[in-house]
Amino acid sequence: YGLPFVSKNNLLVSTINGTGAGIETIYVLIFIFYAPQTEKARILGLFACVLTVFSAVALISLFALHGNGRKLFCGLAATIFSIIMYASPLSIMRLVIKTKSVEFMPFFLSLFVFLCGTSWFVYGLLGRDAFVAIPNGFGCGLGFMQLILYSIYRNNKRSGEAKKPTANGTVEMGAEKPHQEKPTNAKLPHLEHV
């Protein structure tokens, strides 16, 4: 969408999204390299689907569409994919609410989703570009919701875990074990005098 033959004067959009696509590709390849075999196959399948859809959008926009039709098609595709990207943490937000713990929702990821979405939302509003403003407004809202959840549940510990003091007086987290009785002298057999 940000490329000059689709929409003019969108150098910032193409630069940041091109950089992001490169970084995310490296991230996915590293994940695939180190993932267990079952995960590897699933992620490779998803990656192939994403590349197929991207290629289809690129080829259709290059060869079948021109002018405003091309801009509209690429803008709608970019909006849909951006909303999907911003919506992907919804399952983690559900897990946070269910477990009442932010263990699987890193604070800085939530903060920067909010800051990024807000910045691009304002940029899209100032430039009167709905294809930038709409998905990033959605991202701004979801980032804000993540920060609210983080502030609500930040001090909660995972259910089933308890604080246990260690020998040096510090506190260690771990699953609580059932109480076990220690043997007492009364249960020891009597020793006969020799």
The pair of three-digit structure tokens given for residue 54, joined into one six-digit string: 């991207």
* Calpha distance 75→127 (Å, rounded): 14
Determine the pLDDT at residue 176.
44
Can you list the domains of the chain with their CATH numbers? 10-158 (1.20.1280.290)
Of the candidates 94, 75, 92, the one whose C-alpha atom is nearest the C-alpha of residue 135 is 75
Two tokens, residue 72: 């509209």
Q: Give, in order, the Cα–Cα distances in Å from 67 to each of 74, 87, 111, 128, 130.
A: 11, 30, 37, 18, 17
Q: Which residue has the tokens 């430039």?
A: 127
pTM of the model: 0.68
Considering only CA atoms, which of 89, 79, 76, 75 is closest in space to residue 143? 89
- State the pLDDT at residue 156: 77
Tens digit of pLDDT at every position of the chain (194 positions): 888 788 887 888 889 888 988 998 898 889 888 989 888 888 888 889 988 988 898 888 888 888 888 889 989 999 998 998 888 888 888 888 888 888 888 889 889 999 999 999 999 999 898 999 999 999 999 999 999 999 998 887 665 444 444 444 443 444 444 444 444 444 444 444 44
